[in-house]
Amino acid sequence: MADQKELRIGFVGGGNMAFAMARGFIKSELVKPENIIISTLSDRGVGKWKEMNCRATKINHEVVKNSEIVFIGVKPHIVRTVMKELQNDFTKDHLVVSIAAGVTLATFESFGVRRMVRVMPSLPCAVQQGASAFSCGSNVTREDAALVHRLMSSVGYVEEVKESLIDVVASISGSGSAFLYLVTEALADGAVKAGLPRPSAMAFAAHTVQGAGAVVNQTGKHPAQLKDETCSAGGSTIVGIHELEKVGVRGAFISAVECATKRAKELGN
């Protein structure tokens, strides 16, 4: 395998997640932009990637033929069509990495791919704050796994997990980002209702969500303990917590993760 900066990486499918990952790889200086090639049918998509100094094409075959590591970033329902198209292009020298939700390693390996990895990234990879999980196929070497780990850790937190758990992680880190965007928006709306100007409300809400996560990670304390430490007796925070508990916010988040996990598995069928 080539030196990290000389790695040739390809993305079959140039959607938001692929763009976020590539942007993160470039920001981390692990990969040169000119060593990244993507395929997309969108003229707008081609332009967006070229603005980042990456190579762009509308032909999937060109991506495989010009890459050592090929990320499959198409929608789950067209994965099989794309893999059938490309199956004769893959060789034993290709490390293939899927970011398609729900599509199993076995599905990819059925198209003759030998070195296969599944990764579930999240959009915050674009700002090197992602949370990703990956699972390896039976023919993946520890060197391959270490390379995937290094690439994904350059854009945030990463863990290797059993494939049976990867859709759960996707529901926390991938879908969970959207859940937290909703929380951020709601916090800001509450502040606007109380009189704070919208730009300030959004800034305070976003920094609050970011800061709360940082405290959990850096202190190692259970969120319940941190919540208790924040709530003073008879104070405003415990009153707010009571309102959230009354409408079942905790249960709603648990259900959201459960439903998102179920749907992720369905997408691969």
104 is known to lie in a ligand binding site: no
SS3 call for 56: strand
Residue carrying the six token digits 């405003």: 236
Q: Angle, nearest 10°, between helix axes 16-27 and 43-51?
A: 10
With beta carbons less than 8 A apart as the criterion, state whether 240 and 233 touch. no
Dist CA 38 CA 241 (whole Å) = 46
Backbone angles phi, psi at 9, to 5 degrees: -115, 135
Q: Is 60 labeled as ligand-binding?
A: yes
Which H/E stretch holds residue 116?
Answer: strand 115-120
- Sign of CA pseudo-dihedral 224, 229, 231, 234: positive
Q: CA 142 to CA 115: how far, in whole Å? A: 11
**Number of alpha carbons in the 13 Å side-chain half-sphere of residue 246:** 6
- Residue whose entry in the numeric block shows the structure tokens 């959207």: 178
> Please, which residues bridge with residue 98 across strands?
72, 118
**DSSP assignment, residue 159?**
E
The CA–CA distances, whole Å, from 38 to 85, 132, 237, 243 equal 16, 21, 48, 48
Binding residues for NADPH: 60
Binding residues for NADP(+): 40
Binding residues: 40, 60
